[in-house]
Amino acid sequence: MQNPKTIIITGASSGIGAALALYYAGSGVALGLTGRDAARLEAVANACQRKGASVEARVISVTDRARMAEWIGAFHARHGVLDLVIANAGISGGTGGTPTAGEDPDQVRALFATNVDGVLNTVEPALPIMAAQKAGQIAIMSSLASFGPWPGAPAYGATKAAVRLYGEALAGSVRNKGIEVSVICPGFVRSNMTAVNDYPMPFLMDADRAAARIATGLAVGRVRVAFPWPAYVIAGFLGFLPPEWSTRWLAKLPEKPQSR
């Protein structure tokens, strides 16, 4: 969508979410921002207001289905239109430091609750609003990790694969309703989430640059916005390989730290 004016972004207190909020902020733009860290979210909201945007910032967990539906509905009621919803909120974690085989069971469930249920809790309330408008765009944050079986982060990769397939299928399902759906698949982006990784991160990108890439892809309605292209090619190749080969090779890579 070109030049959206009413925008909801989850996970906006840091990283890509904060960078997207600042990218879109400007005169005549109404932003609805959620995040878990009240102080950081307030700082992002203030920065967006200084750029001329109207901002509503709320500390809401995307795992709270009822509160998310209520807030999205209220935001739409106040502004009369909903142009763009970016389901960005997510957490990461892997098998690093786990004393037993596999991942910590509580971490696995937390990853699915935030990265999958949180996306559904953001997208589902927006769909009937946009269908009634016969216009609007949904953007879902996935990852290049969704393309391959990463033994160091089984649950994280699975959650990102789930929302990628959901979003890409949804794009075809709601196209005739006037709704665009885009799935965002970034590689390593400098953020609090990647700061805990104690291994090399090829093609590491600043959040501001990632936000610009994402906004460019959303503006032209791409169903999949994947970057940087060298990492995308590698991830796609690994996903194409038989799992008997890819899992053996990927098992040699460092484990992703547990969520913090």
Active site residues: 156
The answer to whether 12 and 41 are in contact (CB under 8 A) is yes
User: How many whole angstroms separate alpha carbon 155 and alpha carbon 39?
Assistant: 29
Cis before 99 (ω within 30): no
Cα 183 to chain centroid, rounded: 8
Contacts of 103 (CB under 8 A, 6+ apart): 93, 94, 95, 154, 155, 258
Contacts of 117 (CB under 8 A, 6+ apart): 62, 63, 65
Place of tokens 């390989």: 241
User: How many whole angstroms separate alpha carbon 133 and alpha carbon 115?
Assistant: 27
Nearest CA-CA partner of 41 in 71, 10, 63, 70: 10
Given the DSSP bridges, would you call strands 84-87 and 136-141 parallel, antiparallel or unpaired?
A: parallel
